[in-house]
Amino acid sequence: MEEQEHAHPRYILIWVILLVLTLAEVGYAFLDLPKIVLASGLIFMALWKALLVAMYYMHLRYEPRRMWVLAASPLPFAIILVLAVITEF
Amino acid sequence: MSNAAVATMDRKPMPGMKVYNKKLGMWVFLLSEVMFFTSLIGSYIILRFAHPDHWTDPGVVLNVPLTALNTFFLICSSVTMVKAFAAIQEGDQKGLKNWLLATILIGATFVGIQGIEYAALSAEGFVPALDAYHAVGRGNPHEGPSLGGPLYGATFYAMTGFHGAHVSIGVLCLIFVYIQALRGVYTVADFEGVEIIGLYWHFVDLVWILLFTIVYLI
């Protein structure tokens, strides 16, 4: 398990960032802004949080580069799927 | 082939991948889960664009503060899970058991709160496949703003229900790993089981982060 030989990430710091972002999301969701601005900001914050979990809690940052490729492999399909349904309208 | 030989093969990295087979297998499984949840989210988007009148503003029907608290719990459980993993990497058996137990309890709390949320929403008439216009309890269904249509409830229960099922399965798997930890199965040289369930648990947390935003806040 040589791939585990790295210093532990700052788990508690990541946790604090996730909580702050969650609070920011809840506060932001109730602002009186256009729907598209609200949705874009919320999705940005959610993707940022998801990225933090994947990179530090799932340790993707410390995996070999080819694992990154593997982990990212469904993303083009996911994006195509979502964009395909959006363009229906 | 003996069990020892099989175990040795399991720990041997897949040629070219530099990670052991069980971990690679879990990652491949999680990638299939990405597409599963993307299909749910894609369906949600197409239904919401097609029938915007079925949805309400955030917080009108769904209980955002309670779910934000539940989100807080799930994020906390990710920390306890990763602390369990860090503990066994350092050979800390007591830390492993304590952090695993904390993860199980917090995960079970998440499922329990989701059950309470479902019960409260059902009592208000917000049920899948039925007309949620009759939802009562928050706002006046006859005079106030629309409380949404049947698609709101159907998509809500489909997305959060599948996620809740994943959390429930995760809790059961964590209980199994905890029992194994009590038996002293995991060591500083062999902690694959903890790492693999950890990957699943963090993925479930990651999905909830996205679902919470899409279902409750947008």
Query: Residue A30 is nearest to which of B19, B27, B59, comparing CB atoms?
Result: B59
Cross-chain Cβ contact B18/A4 below 8 Å: no
- Is residue A58 within 8 Å of A70, Cβ to Cβ? no
Instruction: Return the residue matching tokens 């175990």.
Output: B7
- Is residue B94 within 8 Å of A33, Cβ to Cβ? no
Assembly ipTM: 0.88
Residue window 68-87, chain A: list those with CB within 8 Å of chain B.
70-71, 73-75, 77-78, 81-82, 84-86
Inform me whether the C-beta atom of residue B18 falls under 8 Å from chain A C-beta atoms. yes
B116: Cβ contacts below 8 Å, ≥ 6 apart? B66
The distance of A17 to chain B (nearest Cα, Å) reads 11
Q: Tell me A54's DSSP state.
A: I
pTM score: 0.88
- For residue B187, give the 3-state DSSP assignment: strand
pLDDT per residue as tens digits for the range B3-58 = 555 555 556 666 666 788 889 999 999 999 999 999 999 889 888 888 888 888 88
pLDDT per residue as tens digits for the range B130-181 = 555 554 444 444 444 456 677 888 899 999 999 999 999 999 999 999 999 9
